[in-house]
Amino acid sequence: MSGLKSIQKILFSLLLVAIISSCNVRRETSLFTSPNDVVTDTITQVYVVNDMGNQNIYTIKTQDRLLIRNLQNKDFLSPIGANSNSAPNNILSEKNQTFEVDSMGNITIPEFGKVSVKGLTRKEATNKIQQLFEKEQIAPIIEITIVNLKVTLLGEFRAQGNYILEQDNLTLIDLIAQAGGLTENADPKTCKIIRGDKFNPEIIYVNLQDIKSLASKKLVLQNSDIIVIQPLKSVVASKKIQNFNNYIQPVLVLLNLGLLILTITK
């Protein structure tokens, strides 16, 4: 009987360890944590740490790469000579439509030569190039994408990875839609946007359960934003306990075997 009680105590102790170890499991598996992280369960809408203010619409800088399309006739606008990957004979592809902004703030369009775009917004650059074509009595529909502007989705999104900011004023909700939404394991209260200086970032916590969060201007995405959503506590705890069970099962088998031998030998 004393042997049975000892085994029961061991089993109870193991269960207690599993419960205690699962209490803090989400932090153990969370991405980009810091000692100053807030408790997301207390956030009702949007909470900002190290607020950097609302930045203006992005303006083009040197070394930016512009993908310029003529939506009416892609064969008309050719980047021949703009980079080493240009194709001969005016043959266009997604790869060779990119124009890099040089150190002087210009791009080189074969039809017009150097065009200054540094300091312009995407819309302003589009209008400028549109006007150049119109002077030649050509009326194309010009579209510009700054292909080096991106944000990164990590965690409980259906499609993680890097996403190009193809338009101005793209919001977090727009991007979540592009990613196919959240997984069934996602905790919508734990959305976090890491923005700006990676050594001293602005951190934006968003409770996606509250519709009022959508009104925040902080949800307009900026270049190099990192967006993370953590799994539900219950999901992480369940996985933790499952992993614990995988380790403890062989121990239980040995204990049962010991109990059986103890019973037989009495």
Q: Please write the tens of the pLDDT for every residue from 101-129.
A: 999 999 998 878 999 999 999 999 999 99
- Which residues touch 16 (CB under 8 Å, ≥6 apart)? none
Q: What is the pLDDT of residue 89?
A: 29
Q: What is the largest CA-CA distance in the chain?
A: 104
Helix (H), strand (E) at residue 15: helix 2-21
For 51-60, 85-94, 110-119, which range has the lowest pLDDT when averaged over its residues? Answer: 85-94
Q: Is the Cβ–Cβ distance between 66 and 128 less than 8 Å?
A: no
Looking at the structure, give the CATH architecture of the domain made up of residues 31-56+149-233. Roll (3.10)
pLDDT band at 93 (very low <50, low <70, confident <90, very high): very low
Q: Write the pLDDT tens digit of every residue in 35-52.
A: 667 777 778 899 999 998
In which residue are the tokens 């592009």 written?
178
Task: Return the higher-pLDDT residue of 242 and 61.
Answer: 61
Q: Residue 197: which pLDDT band, with cuts at 50, 70 and 90?
A: confident
Q: What superfamily in CATH does domain 65-146 come from? A: wza like domain (3.30.1950.10)
Has residue 219 got a pLDDT over 60?
Answer: yes
Q: Which residue has the higher pLDDT, 31 or 225?
A: 225
Does the pTM exceed 0.75? no
End-to-end CA distance of the chain: 10
Which is more confident, 138 or 47? Answer: 47
CB 150 within 8 Å of CB 164: yes
Q: What is the C-alpha separation between 158 and 222, in angstroms, rounded?
A: 21
